[in-house]
Amino acid sequence: MLSESKPDDVRRSGADPSAWAEDFAGLMVVSMARLGRSLDGPFDAALAAWTYEHELDSEWINELRDSFPAWLAAMCGQKPGTLAGDRQKAFDVFMACLVVLLTHWRTEPPLGVRYGSVAAHWCAGHPAIYSKVQAAIRARSSVIRIALADWTLADVLKHGRGEPPKAEKLELKTVLQFSGQRTWAQAAATAAYALFGDFLMDESETTEFCKRCAKPFRIGKKKLFCSLRCARIHSAIQSRHEKVRISRRRKFRNAAGALARLLESGLGARTDWRDHVQRKAGMQTRDARRSRGLTAFIRASQAAPGSPEREGLLRSLQVDSDGNPDTEEREALQREFDSFLSNIQKAEEIQQRGKRK
């Protein structure tokens, strides 16, 4: 008889077709197909990770969350009940892993001129992640499964009775499966690392991340931004930043000039140099936040050359910080900056001496 030639897991379900829905093998294939369409590919996984980070309550994320435990259990060749630990947390572990991995990928590109694969250079610079990706892919192998297949219209027509046959339609399918996973969290992390490995191998060269919102998109006509909207917002922010920088630099130049002239003309102990310079440079306004300008320079003058205080302040004065600032221009700015700071030190000393007398 045919039924006797079936393996255990198929025979167990008996002849009742509705029992198939409960059956593990059936569940596995159904859920893998459902999730497979929306998450299995590394690009879709990257998109899901972005959505998880930015639109946690979206319908797509909720759907993925619901189908995830069955998918993950099937990926480990187990029934959903047999993995240890908290199955509810598995989806969050999976997504958090992907978010972190993709953030590393996006924000820490290999430096300098690199030949060959960017992903290979990236892995060379991230040995800890690389070894975890290797382990996850090593734990994954392809196995064959008996799967319940859907009746197609062609089957029904062939059957010739206008309805599907009562019997099950079975097929053999090759599926990928992780071995050696014992807990939900472990399996979720393994699945995330393996998908990230797929991303490095197959999609990293063709995927770009939006310069504004970090959403992944396929490289094509779009080069920097995921959408026209992001491009517009980005350029508006840029030009606003540009204006702020230009005004900041103008005030810095005015202040530096005013202080140099004050020192040349002989700074008396009675003159409050801060007040004088702020007034001349237009730094003193009723807006208290803006008058911090000079304070930042005084603090930087007390810090060591090359310290974060100094470097950060200098950078804030560079107008073209995003592109490639002209080297000559930058050196001139550095000289002006250094001489302003040393003049501040002089002025402060004179003032201190005046107070002591």
**Residues in contact with Zn ion by the rule CB under 5 A:** 210, 212-213, 215, 226, 230
Minimum Å gap between C-beta 61 and Zn ion is 18
Which whole-number Å values give the CA distances from 296 to 84, 302, 303, 317, in the listed order?
Answer: 55, 10, 11, 12
The number of residues in the chain equals 357
Minimum Å gap between C-beta 212 and Zn ion is 5
Distance between CA atoms of 214 and 151, rounded to whole angstroms? 42
Tell me the three state secondary structure of residue 40.
Answer: coil
Residue number, 239 or 339, with CB nearest to Zn ion:
239
Minimum Å gap between C-beta 322 and Zn ion is 17
Residue number, 232 or 250, with CB nearest to Zn ion:
232
Distance between CA atoms of 194 and 81, rounded to whole angstroms? 23
Residue number, 211 or 353, with CB nearest to Zn ion:
211
Strand partners, 141: 177
Minimum Å gap between C-beta 231 and Zn ion is 8
Strand partners, 177: 141
What is the full DSSP assignment across 258-303?
A: HHHHHHHT---TTS-HHHHHHHHHT---S-TTTTHHHHHHHHHHHS
Dihedral (Cα; 134, 135, 137, 143), 10-degree rounding = 150
Name the E strands within the chain.
140-148, 170-178, 207-209, 216-218
Residue number, 64 or 226, with CB nearest to Zn ion:
226
Minimum Å gap between C-beta 211 and Zn ion is 7
Residue number, 147 or 210, with CB nearest to Zn ion:
210
Minimum Å gap between C-beta 233 and Zn ion is 8
Minimum Å gap between C-beta 213 and Zn ion is 3
Minimum Å gap between C-beta 219 and Zn ion is 14
Residue number, 212 or 310, with CB nearest to Zn ion:
212
Residue number, 233 or 303, with CB nearest to Zn ion:
233
Minimum Å gap between C-beta 214 and Zn ion is 7
Q: In this structure, are residues 259 and 344 in contact, taking their beta carbons and an 8 Å threshold?
A: yes
Residue number, 102 or 230, with CB nearest to Zn ion:
230
Query: Greatest CA separation found in the chain?
Result: 114
Distance between CA atoms of 321 and 330, rounded to whole angstroms? 10
Which whole-number Å values give the CA distances from 213 to 44, 54, 217, 293, 327, in the listed order?
Answer: 17, 9, 11, 31, 31
Distance between CA atoms of 336 and 330, rounded to whole angstroms? 10
Residue number, 25 or 210, with CB nearest to Zn ion:
210
Q: In this structure, are residues 64 and 45 in contact, taking their beta carbons and an 8 Å threshold?
A: no
Q: Which amino acid is at 130?
A: Y
